[in-house]
Amino acid sequence: ETGVTQTPRHLVMGMTNKKSLKCEQHLGHNAMYWYKQSAKKPLELMFVYNFKEQTENNSVPSRFSPECPNSSHLFLHLHTLQPEDSALYLCASSQEDRGFGYTFGSGTRLTVV
């Protein structure tokens, strides 16, 4: 148990489906992040939330919609995805102002068919 929990661990969805990824942390951190990790590619930062406010969106397509209702929970809502969106989606949290590094969840393996 890393302190950051992601559900589901695996998800298969069609291109017309709507689904959501969930991330939860109980570390008292105030920043949360979504990363995309595709095969043979570097980690891609998607979204950053500090104190529930989105502070960074790295040109992510609108078919990915994040939500951060409180400092402990982060969602990634998915709709009309493409096969190239298949990847491992990682959530991380940190104490934003201390630079102590991130604590990562185990990820959600997403397959779009």
The binding site for another protein (CB under 8 A) comprises 2, 4, 6, 31, 42-43, 48, 50, 88, 90, 92, 94-107, 109
Question: Tokens 């990562």 identify what position?
Answer: 104
Our CB check for another protein shows the closer of 72 and 103 to be: 103
Outline where DSSP puts E strands in the chain.
4-7, 10-13, 18-25, 31-37, 44-50, 53-57, 64-70, 73-79, 87-94, 103-104, 108-112
Residue 69 or 99: the one with the smaller Cβ distance to another protein is 99
Beta bridge partners of 36: 44, 89
| Nearest distance in Å: CB 82, another protein | 22
Query: Least Å distance between CB 58 and another protein?
Result: 11
- Toward another protein, which CB reaches closer, 38 or 82? 38
Q: Kindly state the smallest distance separating residue 65's Cβ from another protein, in Å.
A: 22
Tokens representing 88 are 């491992």
